[in-house]
A and B are shown apart, each in its own frame.
Chain A
Amino acid sequence: MVRRNTVVGNIDWVTVVIYIILVFLGWVNIYSAVYNEDSQGIFDISQRYGKQLVWIGAALVLAFFIIIIESRFYVFFGYLIYGIMLLLLISVLIFGTEVNGARSWFIIGGFGFQPGEFTKFATALALAKYISQYNFKMYRLKSLAIIGFIIFFPALLIFLQHDTGSALVYTVFILVLYREGLTGVVLFFILLVVVLFILALVISNTAILVFMLVISFLSFYIIHQKFKDLWKVVGVFGLIVAIVWGIGVFFNLQFTNVSVLLIGSVISALVFLGLSIRKRLHKISLLIVIFFGSLLFTISVGHVFENVLQEHQQARIKELLGIESDPLGAGYNVNQSKIAIGSGGFLGKGFLNGTQTKFNFVPEQSTDFIFCTVGEEWGFLGAFTVITLFIFLFIRLIWLAERQRSVFSRVYGYSVATILFFHFMVNIGMTIGLMPVIGIPLPFFSYGGSSLWSFTILLFIFLRLDANRLDRIL
């Protein structure tokens, strides 16, 4: 009894309260989204809000059991849980049922179960266990390979289920690795890739080439700090471009302006690379390599976009970037979602008074687009409150993670915070037109037993670990 009391006393009740508030708000909005005048009983199991009430009750029971289990259990069985989940993922690929194009469900007796949802906490446990082992060093090929496997193997399996959204969640572990020592250059490269990807799709080839050249020259000046050399470099580059142009005219090769610039750039880059290596200016060499990489990446974006991405994914990205607009087709969801949220105004239309969500203008309104109901019925004030609650939860989780004495708990804590954050970012970003349409749920809000339970397990294992943070055993 004494021991259990200490656990209860050590639980971070602030997080628990935020969790309960979010789950409650989620249920209220599901009720409103599905509400119709024919069946109003909140316990009506035939309606989604009635079912969600059952899921919530079960989630609270689940949370209780997670809390009373010894925290060492999670550490000890980390790999085993991960292994079981991988087996489930493989078997769902073979025996699962296809729902909305994704073969990611087991349907048993009318109830659906999505193993992919539960792989997240298992991956987090496995990653925490691996990183927390004695003598772990990030920069070893073996370490990187194993970490890569732990994170991306489940992601690959989920991707094979055609559940691209859930697979993308695993990229967020990079933030956890960053906290544990992975170089910040990785974040820089991710940013670079995203920017180049968008630019490649949005602006013309000439513009992006000029943009990259200007950035490179500026970077050269920032690294090298010699104005005279900058002029020399620009001069040489200009000369090479002019020669290329001259050859083109002389031999009547019919170069376009872009190809003159491109050939000129490549030749100049090769010349400068040779010079920088001879003069041992390593940073300049790196800059030129990055320039080359970016050039290659940009050229390949178009190819990747058209051949790797599926048609509906292409359409969603084009819609997001404003390249194409089809409010009745690919853009329908987001357009209606923005209308619903936008029409909420500052104070919202009031509980149960949302017309856009209630009359089914917004698809998937109780699951992926639940935030529309918040925006429409509770207005800017309500949406702001929900975002604030989430942010408070994330910061609280990071703060909790930082206070852990054990690496395991810290890595797991960061995993929880960043996984929740990724869902939050993509889901809300999608409803307000800042992210492409990627169907992943809003934690604690979206309708669905699997997602609510998986987020509950994810969160409460960390709270259980946190309750034992003073234990040296971990």
Chain B
Amino acid sequence: MENLVRRQYIISGIILLTAMVFVAKLFRLQVLSSAYVQYATNNVLRKVVQYPARGLIYSRNGKLLVYNKAAYDLLVTPRELGSFDTLSLCNMLNISVDYLASEIKAAKKYSYYKPSIIVTQISSEDYAYFQEQLYKYPGFYVQPRTLREYPRSIAAHILGYISEASQELINKDNYYNPGDYTGATGIEKKYERYLRGEKGVKYFLVDVHSRQKGSYENGKRDVPAIVGENIITTIDMGLQEYAESLMQNKKGSIVAIEPSTGEILAMVSAPYYDPNMLVGRSRGVNYARLSTDSLKPLFNRALMAEYPPGSTFKIANSLIGLQEGAINNYTSFSCSGPASYPIRCTHDHVSPLSIQSAIRESCNPFFWNNFRLIIGNYSTTAEGYNTWRNHVLSFGFGHKLGTDLLSEMDGNVPLESFYNNIYGRRHWNAMTIRSMAIGQGELLVTPLHLANFAAVVANRGYYIVPHVVRSVQGYNSEKETLGFAKKTSSVKPEYFEVVINGMQDVVEKTSLRYTTRVQGIEVCGKTGTVQNPHGSDHSVFIAFAPKDNPKIALSVYVENGGWGSRYAAPIASLVIEKYINGSIANSRKWLEKKMLDANLLDTIQPE
């Protein structure tokens, strides 16, 4: 028995040994190793990106063009999925059962524990209803995000749209993560850096099911998102809306510029589309529809359509002729009407004509002679041509103007070498390329080029690079006004007056006076007709007003509009009247109605 009493120490020893092993292990886990603290932090801490509200876009008058509205993404965490009524969920969200099943499958493949987005951009209307039902769907969550909303469905081409950042962009700019939105076109793209703001970060504690359980360290380490900066455009909302309405059921464009500043007041490319179409869940369908539309509504004609300038280009040639001394205010050329050679004249008028009248009558023979003399002033055709060409370029033609609009086209003012290639060096002369005298042939300009040229004339010899954004205003920062360069033309200001008088006569002393003259405003303009081998000719008009101290310069293209005075000139006059007077005089309401009602989409008649 004595021996057995000693066994209590062995048993106590086993107990103590166990305790010591435990304490040693605990010491290792808790005191020596810091890895577990990190594991624990990883377990409970979730970094949630806070998306800033995108900057707003205003018109020049401070009216909202673009703002944000709330939308909601539906997420699913597969691990937490319970049984639910598949059909009613699908009906509520307007998705198919197959779609839901495949999305959930994909989410499971990604992660059982982390949420995946399965339905994007649920409207707040749908969400309001869905939110009340959400408790029936375990594992489903909703996260808010912002969508663009356009209070007036205008200016789609100027504003552009936003879309998910491409993989290429994500690789290039580490600001973006998959699923983030970025400006894809227009102002949204050009001014992305201002509009997007700064993302923030919020740290949340989460439980084992990744449910948020409150902020971490009371939000001390959180970084708030910084709202995107607001953009104040140069667009006059009322004018833009009016100009778009005038172009309904037509193809073509209107570009209106404030000459003294280069600010684009309105820019229409018709047919246009409602910018709200490219927002939200129907975006994909709508985009496909728009991009396959035979009328190409996504194509911004104002910047990208290249047409010959037609007779509007006679203004440019007049100015060059005067500057070069090829002609003066009194130089006259005779015209034999349709019998004229080498270019026949389409108008009946007295002969001979000096420059002011020639502009009024758009007399082809005058301008051919003028062109011949400009080139002929120099010892070689090449030298003469290059001199002429440099003058043309100084008006802004033949190259990108450097606006803040994306996808501007160069237009085309052919190089000397172009003709050398066709005809051979010294085997061509002014006669060969005489269609340049009247704005046809190889010459190509965009509506923006022409509007800018109207501004050059209005300014008597210079232009400010056209632009659509006036200033940028941050949430807390000063307003930043953006500067754009002033470019001077190579034609001296004193040569403009007689040309402008001619342009005034075009409006006041030809048949245009019934349609294009605006009571109380001295409008100066020039019509053009662009020969169109594919159908009816295009109707073109450039104008500015008032004659002194001009407020607006513009170009109007109406495709298949027949001739300049038929649609483009009246439309231009309405735009001018609307901008300067604020409304259309009663005496001209008939004209407004006629222009609004005109439908040129079905009248393409091959010749």
Contacts and interface: CB of A to CB of B under 8 A. Distances in A.
B15 A421 contact: yes
Given A338-B36, A356-B44, A418-B11, A375 B207 contact: no
A345 B22 contact: no
Interface in A340-388: 340-346, 355-356, 358-361, 375, 379-380, 383-384, 387-388
Contacts of B39: 339, 342-343
Contact of A360 (B14, B33, B208): B208
Nearest to B7: A179
A106 interface: no
A356 B43 contact: yes
A384 B26 contact: yes
Given A179-B4, A356-B44, A359-B205, A383 B26 contact: yes
A375 B30 contact: yes
Contact of A432 (B25, B40, B209): B25
A375 B29 CA distance: 10
A426 B8 CA distance: 21
A344 B23 CA distance: 14
Interface residues of B, number: 36
Contacts of B37: 342-343, 345
Contacts of A414: 11
Given A341-B36, A343-B36, A343-B37, A375 B26 contact: yes
Interface string A403-431: 00000000000100110010001001100
Contact of A380 (B10, B15, B26, B43): B26
Interface string B39-50: 111011000000
A395 interface: yes
Contacts of B18: 421, 425, 429
B213 interface: yes
A73 to B, nearest CB: 27
A433 B37 CA distance: 17
Given A345-B31, A360-B208, A434-B25, A178 B7 contact: yes
Nearest to B18: A425
Report, as a range, how many residues of chain A touch the other chain.
Answer: 35 or more
Nearest to A341: B29
Contacts of B22: 387, 428-429, 432, 434
Nearest to A343: B40
A344 B30 CA distance: 6
B12 A398 contact: yes
Nearest to B19: A391
A398 B7 CA distance: 11
A394 B4 CA distance: 19
A418 B20 CA distance: 17
Contacts of B12: 394-395, 398
A402 interface: yes
B16 to A, nearest CB: 7
A181 interface: yes
B7 to A, nearest CB: 5
B interface: dominant SS? helix
Nearest to B3: A181
Interface in B187-214: 205-209, 213
A288 interface: no
Contacts of B23: 384, 387
B21 interface: yes
A7 to B, nearest CB: 26
B27 interface: yes
A175 interface: yes
Looking at A178, A355, A401, A417, which has the most chain B CB atoms within 10 Å of its CB? A355
A342 B208 contact: no
B288 interface: no
A180 interface: yes
A345 B38 CA distance: 11
Nearest to A336: B43
Contacts of A375: 26, 29-30
A181 B40 contact: no
Contact of A355 (B4, B10, B44): B44
Contacts of A184: 10
Contact of B8 (A338, A380, A398): A398
Interface string B62-94: 000000000000000000000000000000000
Nearest to B1: A181
Contact of B11 (A178, A181, A342, A361): A178
A29 B312 CA distance: 89
A398 B10 CA distance: 11
B482 interface: no
Contacts of B285: none
Contacts of A401: 8
Contacts of B206: 359
B35 interface: yes
Nearest to B45: A355
B5 interface: yes
A355 B205 contact: yes
Contacts of A340: 40
Contacts of B213: 358-359
B8 A346 contact: no
Nearest to B44: A355
A379 B23 CA distance: 12
Contacts of B30: 341-342, 344-346, 375, 379-380, 383
Contacts of B16: 391, 395
A425 to B, nearest CB: 5
A356 B25 CA distance: 19
Given A339-B39, A383-B26, A361 B8 contact: no
A340 B22 CA distance: 16
A139 to B, nearest CB: 13
B12 to A, nearest CB: 6
A342 B40 contact: yes
Interface string A165-189: 0000000000100111100100000
Interface string A238-273: 000000000000000000000000000000000000
A339 B4 contact: no
Given A180-B4, A380-B31, A384-B26, A339 B43 contact: yes
B29 A342 contact: yes
B24 to A, nearest CB: 10
B31 A361 contact: no
Contacts of B40: 339-340, 342-343, 355-356
B32 to A, nearest CB: 10
Nearest to A418: B11
Nearest to B27: A380
Nearest to B113: A328
A167 B26 CA distance: 27
A361 B15 contact: no
Nearest to A187: B10
Of listed A179, A343, A433, residue having the most chain B CB within 10 A: A343
Contacts of B44: 355-356, 359, 361
Given A342-B37, A361-B43, A402-B8, A175 B26 contact: no
A434 B18 CA distance: 10
B11 A338 contact: no
Contacts of A390: 19
A26 to B, nearest CB: 18
Contacts of A361: 43-44, 207-208
20 contacts: A175-B11, A179-B11, A339-B36, A339-B39, A341-B36, A342-B35, A358-B207, A359-B205, A359-B207, A360-B208, A361-B43, A361-B207, A375-B30, A383-B26, A387-B19, A387-B22, A390-B19, A391-B19, A402-B5, A402-B8
Given A375-B26, A391-B15, A429-B22, 14 more contacts: A175-B11, A178-B7, A178-B10, A341-B26, A342-B37, A342-B39, A342-B40, A343-B39, A346-B30, A359-B206, A380-B31, A390-B19, A398-B11, A432-B25
- Going nearest first, the 3 A-B pairs with the smallest beta carbon separation are A342-B36, A343-B40, A359-B207
Interface of A: 175, 178-181, 184, 336, 338-346, 355-356, 358-361, 375, 379-380, 383-384, 387-388, 390-391, 394-395, 398, 401-402, 414, 417-418, 421, 425, 428-429, 432-434
